[in-house]
Chain A
């Protein structure tokens, strides 16, 4: 079943291999130009890549969480959040309870991290906790747990590091090239083979320009695919795609960006933390699929919560295109029923509603008796009897004098 999503990552692996090839190619040509030996360049590229990998492997989670200014919570701090994470942990069959972090930020977002399920952590913003109801939060947490369970964090950090290495290499290469051409060009004077040199230089420059762009596009493509997969898994875990759909709707409606997010952590969030409202997300250069589309897919999952249902909904939205879920993951999974919605209103909302309704009714009664109402600057509504003679009324609450 969903386990197979994990094993069936051939396309993702090919894309990662493509990025790695790009890195090596770049190292080779840069080496050829600067060091006169392609192997040397490849080795340097590999060393940079390995160092970055090591850092990410041992410190990546901590760095990401520290950058996001997340603080770890215990069960007693936020029992509801903890419970929901535990529910999703059970539904997904994850073995270890992930650590939970809170980011004090009014923006609505969440992300998962941890290179394997045993070191997983989930972080949510405090805004998210306030704005979402239980079912919606469950959908979001299901999405994050799916990232953990599908090993997306590992995949995306591998890709992110490759991308980072390529960007760094091309940045330094551009500067070195610029510098060496400014200072007279050591190379052109020492070696006579001008034409071969020129070709290498041309290829190198093209690579330096194109490689970061290509790597970024690959990175984004992988990221988007994993987002769809996580959505489908969340629907499968919760058996309730509407929860995630309505959560995404709320997330889409809020425009505040996550202050502490940075480019490298972007794919880990449930929605793109840098999203600007009103700008149609161009498909190729985005880490996340458009939210409206994700919502539409989730809402078109008629009749079931299985991966096959998500795949059908995806095809429906994309008008007969290819599905998003690997076919081996769909095979033999059987039908999955949807859960019935649990009507839920939090205590506070109900209380507020009652008070408001009572006020409305009483205001109406006053009006019927020809009373006028003046709203004082302090927010108190003053009811003025129709026979009042004086022109001013003192507010009983704050003492301000209001004109009738």
Chain B
């Protein structure tokens, strides 16, 4: 009689363990997905900011048409690349970052523009958006690390294998100079 109770007890405990491991995996996987969505939110914010920035700066920087066109073009390409896969998207965003930082270097030559309140506000928004892109990538990688650890470490890897929880990819920026979001510094 006791044996039956013990067996039932063990089974119940096992079931609880399996359920909680499974739930943990689901939670971490959702966290990874949510973190990825966060990056997209911030990238979209950057896309939305750029037309404003170009509008504000245009009046002051009459001799920089080429730079503006490059930024606008890179921005449109990046916007089109949304949802075409991690590789293509990060390449387009990398190019946008490059074009933006070139524009922001040129801004140095226009003191009037740097004194414009509107532009200063935009500058703060852009700086912060770049930071947020960086931080959301950082958090994405942290979430992936946690999730992957869980899918690969014993004993949760057994459940992960049975329920087909696959390891996620880390976000990695191809070129070393793109690893940092462009420095938005107007000093």
Contact = CB atoms under 8 A, between A and B. Distances in A.
B186 A347 contact: yes
A239 B115 CA distance: 31
A84 B145 CA distance: 25
Interface string A318-339: 0000000000000011100001
Q: How many residues of B sit at the interface, in one of the four size bands?
A: 20 to 34
Contacts of B125: 79, 83
Interface residues of A, number: 28
A169 to B, nearest CB: 40
A347 B142 contact: no
B142 A79 contact: no
Interface string B84-127: 00000000000000000000000000000011000011001101
Contacts of B139: 90-93
A47 interface: no
A350 B187 contact: yes
Given A1-B146, A90-B136, A84 B187 contact: no
Contacts of B42: 90
B168 interface: no
A239 B142 CA distance: 12
Contacts of A346: 187
A196 interface: no
B114 A93 contact: no
Given A345-B187, A347-B186, A79 B38 contact: no
Nearest to B145: A334
A252 B31 CA distance: 38
A343 B146 contact: no
Interface string B20-41: 0000000000010001001000
Nearest to A345: B187
A350 to B, nearest CB: 6
B145 A333 contact: yes
Contacts of A88: 135
Given A90-B38, A93-B139, A1 B145 contact: yes
B126 to A, nearest CB: 10
B180 interface: yes
B151 interface: no
A344 B187 contact: yes
Given A86-B132, A90-B139, A93-B35, A344 B124 contact: no
Residue of A88, A92, A342 with most partner-chain B CB within 10 A:
A342
A343 B38 contact: no
B135 A87 contact: yes
Contact of B153 (A86, A332, A347): A332
Contacts of B31: 93
Contacts of A80: 124, 128
A383 to B, nearest CB: 28
Contacts of B67: none
A204 to B, nearest CB: 46
In order of increasing CB-CB distance, the 8 nearest A-B pairs are: A83-B128, A91-B135, A345-B187, A90-B135, A87-B131, A332-B149, A90-B136, A93-B139
Interface of A: 1, 3, 79-80, 83-84, 86-88, 90-93, 134, 237, 239, 332-334, 339-340, 342-347, 350
